[in-house]
């Protein structure tokens, strides 16, 4: 007997199997863990720069400002702190 013939000649078993699969799907769907506000990790890049012996003003003008300009040109950068 071919595989499909089992389902054609036994309609009650076919219906019961369909109901069982549907019930398993509904039960599995209800048991899925879903959070209203899921914890999402956003992409983050940390940059550290140092210039030993430099004053804060020198760091701002020689290191921080050029870095901010370069990093600000990257597509998708929304915030720098």
Predicted confidence (pLDDT) per residue in 44-72, tens digit: 888 888 889 888 889 888 889 998 888 88
- Residues 10 and 3 sit within 8 Å (Cβ to Cβ): no
Dist CA 34 CA 38 (whole Å):
8
Mean predicted lDDT score pLDDT of the chain:
89
Q: In this predicted model, which residue has the larger pLDDT, 79 or 12?
A: 12
- The predicted pLDDT at position 13 comes to 93
Which pLDDT belongs to residue 12?
95
pLDDT grade for 31, boundaries at 50, 70 and 90: very high
Going by C-alpha positions, the residue among 23, 24, 4 that lies closest to residue 14 is: 4
Q: Is 76 left (phi over 0), alpha (psi -120 to 50) or beta?
A: left
> What percent of the chain is predicted at pLDDT more than 70?
99
């Amino acid at each position: 007997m071919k595989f499909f013939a089992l389902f054609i000649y036994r309609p009650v078993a076919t219906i019961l199997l369909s109901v069982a699969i549907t019930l398993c799907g509904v039960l599995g769907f209800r048991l899925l863990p879903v959070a209203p506000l899921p914890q999402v990790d956003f992409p983050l890049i940390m940059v550290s720069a140092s210039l030993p012996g430099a004053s804060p003003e020198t760091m701002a003008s020689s290191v921080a400002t050029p870095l901010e300009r370069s990093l600000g040109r990257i597509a998708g950068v929304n915030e720098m702190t």
